[in-house]
């Protein structure tokens, strides 16, 4: 009973710290302090140590952010307008949080890509789950199923690249450029008639 709560507190605190300080920048002591749990509990609930805890925290963070994405796209009516709103929202969050609150797993994903196979796999799974759900949304909105994957991936690459540049520059201009490009990509994929809107 209390077990589940302690475990969840540890996971939540870890997910939050990983987003803000990355994997190598987050110590177990810090996690222990933030979650108000004893150090021993971490190794009780996550026998694999920091790596196992980190991998699971990434998946938690991934589900949380997926819920945000779905809040925009799941019940959307106008895909282009929704895409614009999503990128506008991301820019607003960056400004409000002084460019701290961006993608919850991007920093960690890059850190562990070549150093921890379980964590790389976890980050890969999270990105894949975002794409899968986005594809379902796009298809429900009338997009040709053969085009959804490419559009969803392009959208994700644009926002991740924008997060990186916006944070490095402390400026949301890249997010605005990314938003316009994403809207164009969504519009182009929705046009039933290829005609002159195509790729020339």
30 binds, among DNA, its own copies, none (CB under 5 to 8 A by kind): DNA
Of residues 9-38, those binding DNA (CB under 7 A): 26-30, 37-38
Helices (H), 97-144: 106-112, 117-140
Of its own copies, DNA, none, which one sits near residue 116, judging by CB under 5 to 8 A according to partner kind?
A: none
Q: Is 118 in the site for its own copies (CB under 8 A)?
A: no
Q: How far is residue 158's CA from residue 110's CA, in Å, rounded to a whole number?
A: 16
**Interface with its own copies in residues 136-165 (CB under 8 A):** 150, 153-154, 156-162, 164-165
Cβ of residue 196: shortest distance to its own copies, in angstroms?
3
Radius of gyration of the chain (CA): 19
Please give the Cα distance from 87 to 5 (Å, whole number). Answer: 34
Q: Kindly state the smallest distance separating residue 142's Cβ from DNA, in Å.
A: 47
7 vs 163 by CB, closer to its own copies: 163
Residues 93-112 binding DNA (CB under 7 A) are none
**The two three-digit tokens of residue 146, written as one number:** 């053969």
Length of the chain: 200
Concatenating the DSSP letter of every residue in 25-91 gives T--HHHHHHHHT--HHHHHHH-TTHHHHHHHHHHHHHHHHHHHHHHHHHTT-S-HHHHHHHHHHHHH
Footprint on residues 12-41 left by its own copies (CB under 8 A): 20-25
**Residue among 49 and 124 whose Cβ is closer to DNA:** 49
The token pair that represents 144 in the structure block: 């040709």
Largest CA distance in the chain: 64
Residue 40's binding partner, choosing from DNA, its own copies, none, with beta-carbon cut-off 5 to 8 A by kind? DNA
Q: Summarize as ranges the residues that interact with its own copies (CB under 8 A).
A: 20-25, 98-100, 106-107, 109-111, 113-115, 120, 123-124, 127-128, 150, 153-154, 156-162, 164-165, 167-170, 173-174, 177-178, 180-181, 184-185, 187, 191, 195-197, 199-200
């Amino acid at each position: 009973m209390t077990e589940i709560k302690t475990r969840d507190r540890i996971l939540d605190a870890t997910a939050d710290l990983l987003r803000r300080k990355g994997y190598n920048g987050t110590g177990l002591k810090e996690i222990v302090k933030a979650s108000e749990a004893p150090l021993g509990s971490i190794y009780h609930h996550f026998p694999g140590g920091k790596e196992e805890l980190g991998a699971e925290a990434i998946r938690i963070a991934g589900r949380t952010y997926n819920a945000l994405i779905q809040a925009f796209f799941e019940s959307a009516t106008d895909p282009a307008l929704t895409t614009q709103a999503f990128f506008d929202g991301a820019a607003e969050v960056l400004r409000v949080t002084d460019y701290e609150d961006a993608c919850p797993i991007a920093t960690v994903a890059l850190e562990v890509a070549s150093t921890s196979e379980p964590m790389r796999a976890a980050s890969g799974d999270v990105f894949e789950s975002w794409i899968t759900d986005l594809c379902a949304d796009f298809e429900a909105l009338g997009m040709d199923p053969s085009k959804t994957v490419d559009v969803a991936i392009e959208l994700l690459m644009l926002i991740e690249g924008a997060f990186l540049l916006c944070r490095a520059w402390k400026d949301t201009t890249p997010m605005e450029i990314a938003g316009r490009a994403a809207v164009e990509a969504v519009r182009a994929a929705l046009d039933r008639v290829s005609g002159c809107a195509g790729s020339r």
